[in-house]
Structure 1
Amino acid sequence: MDHTIELEILGLSSNHSQSGSFTLVMGEVGGSRRLPIVIGMFEAQAIAIEIEKIIPNRPMTHDLFKSFSSNFNFSIDQILVSDMREGVFYAKIICKSPSKTVEIDARPSDAIAIAVRFDAPIYCVSKVMSEAAIEFNEEEERKEQQKQVKPSRSGSTPSRSSDSLKDFSLDKLNQMLDKAINNEDYERAARIRDEINRRN
């Protein structure tokens, strides 16, 4: 099997060129290469709410996968970004039960949304890294970090929304947080939670 490289999630940013899509930036652990993967809004939200530790009022698809696995006694060993063909990434979810190991094909976005729920490591085969990764130096790194948005805020202009939240009391913000979660508006919930955290 091809040599693999461990990746970590560095951030999510919305794509101005392609509305409704996001770029998930993965970083080489202990290295300077970055692997950007374009993903859809639903998967971006699924990754963001788990990173942000927002609990949806009903399980999302990836939470459902986690419930299935724990009820049937299998765990996720790792996620592997296994191939890239014509600009499309492919991934495998490597599952383990007491009796066997199984590889399941998945889109990288779904696989990574599942990885964050299981706290499973994410790897990429070196062939894909050498074809698709971008080498970052420290100067570019600083610029990129200034551009990057928190995962859950990516849809709208963050500054305006958070400014308007400053006018509300803490009690009111907590009510608004509950309401946003009930309405499954996780992006708004993350902004409200950030404002609550700033005051605590």
Structure 2
Amino acid sequence: MREVEIVGVRVDMPANQPLVLLREVGGARVVPIWIGAVEASAIAFALQGTPTARPLTHELMGTLVEALGDELQRVEIVDVRDGIFYAELHFESGAVVEARPSDGIALALRTGATVLVAEDVLDAAGLLPESDEEAEVERFREFLDDVDPEDFA
């Protein structure tokens, strides 16, 4: 397992499909995972630290876990089959729960949990950015500074 950082969310054109970009810590590979618009908004809200008037689903999940006396330790993206990614939530109590990666990432951002990707998933789905792609990732980071989560609704 390799730790990844959440670079951000973007919309893939021309399909107009949101995706989340993960980059391995201490490495160069980037993993794009296509996600739904609601999950893209949830991740964008968390990345920007945007407060909400009422708890969103992932905030509620985090509060429930805490109220039940547990803690999310890590989210592991464990497999990719036919372009579909699979993840697990690992709790301090030892409980392991299957989840969509987008939900796991949104929850991890709210709880401070680590996100890890299996080495074979990185090998299968990871992209090595070329110099132009590095520049694009940097432009995307700048875009994230100005994007509003409602843009994904």
Higher relative CO (Cα under 8 Å, sequence separation at least 6) belongs to: 2
Other structure's SS at 1:136 match: coil
Amino acid at match of 1:5: R
Size of the alignment, in residue pairs?
A: 150
Is residue 132 from structure 1 mapped to residue 95 from structure 2 by the alignment?
no
1:153 counterpart = 2:116? no
| Residue identity matched to 1:129 | L
Larger radius of gyration: 1
Asked if structure 1 preserves the Cα contact closer than 8 Å seen for 2:72 and 2:89, the reply is yes
Unaligned runs of 5+ in 1: 155-185, 189-200
> What TM-score do you get using the length of structure 2 for normalisation?
0.90
CA-CA distance at 1:142 after TM superposition: 1.1
- 3-state SS of the aligned residue for 2:104? helix
Contact 1:11 1:151 (8 Å CA) reproduced: no
Paired-residue identity, %: 30
1:138 CA displacement:
3.6
Write the letter of the residue equivalent to 1:33.
R
Among candidates 113, 126, 130, match of residue 106 of structure 2: 113
**Could you tell me how far 1:151 is from its partner in structure 2?**
7.3
1:84–1:128 contact (8 Å) kept in structure 2 = yes
List alignment gaps of at least 5 residues for structure 2: none
Residues 1:123 and 2:116 are matched in the alignment:
yes
Per the alignment, in what secondary structure is the counterpart of residue 55 of structure 2?
Answer: coil
In the aligned structure 2, how far is the partner of 1:69 from the partner of 1:24? 24
Amino acid at match of 2:98: D
